Amino acid sequence: MHREGHSPLVTLIVVAAVAVTSAQAPRLEPVDQGPQKPDFMEFRTELRRAIGRRDVAGLLRAVHPNIKSSFGGDDGIDAFKQHWRLDRADSKLWRELGAVLALGGTFVDPDQFAAPYVYSKWPETSDPFDNVALVGSNVRLRGASSASGRVLTTMSYAILRRKEPGSRSEAWTAIVLPDGRRGYVASHLVRSPIDYRAFFARSDGRWLMTLFVAGD
């Protein structure tokens, strides 16, 4: 006699398919608490203008005398200028610090601000060395590291696992989708919490950048 319903094998396949399609990545929504304090917003606006003009003097006015530029003990204005080669027009500081400031951040306490939000709000449940965050909405995840690669799916503000440690080029980052597929995303649309980040502190009524580092 024929029984209505699926065989055990068909049922198993259906269950597996539902598990794959329902797999979801953690999300890290963008946040910027800067507007909560007008004096910080004024400081940050001026700093971003200096970056846009590549104005070294304007930048240095926003830098703390004992700024930390690395974890190797390179502290102070002179070390900062040397580290970033501010005597050169092609210094990478303008791009890196501009990217950090564009991604918001949060107040650690009333007199300290950490940027970007990818660093300051990174969840403890996601390994910062194995994962990256999408910093855009409807980001295309492709099957090849090319703008012509087939679009596998689109995702917004998701935390995704790197395909392998260090799997990031100038243009593309290799990632693993929640369903296990391998893909690629344009590197300017992803960020690691151990990429460059900045701290700002208010002292005697004045905001200054006290740290600008990458790594761990």
DSSP conformation letters of 67-96: EE-STTS-BSHHHHHHHHTTTSTT-THHHH
Please, which pLDDT band fits residue 23 given cuts at 50, 70 and 90? Answer: low
CB within 8 Å of 7: residues ≥ 6 apart: none
**pTM for this model (two decimals):** 0.85
pLDDT in tens, 89-126: 899 999 999 999 999 999 999 999 999 999 999 999 99
Q: Where are the domains of the chain?
A: 34-112+198-213, 131-191
- Token readout for 82 is 């040397």
Q: What does the alpha-carbon distance between residue 126 and residue 111 come to, in Å, rounded to a whole number?
A: 28
Mean pLDDT, rounded, for 129-147: 96
Q: How many CB atoms lie within 10 A of CB 190?
A: 24
CATH code, residues 131-191: 2.30.30.40
Query: Half-sphere exposure of residue 25, counting CA atoms within 13 Å on the CB side?
Result: 24
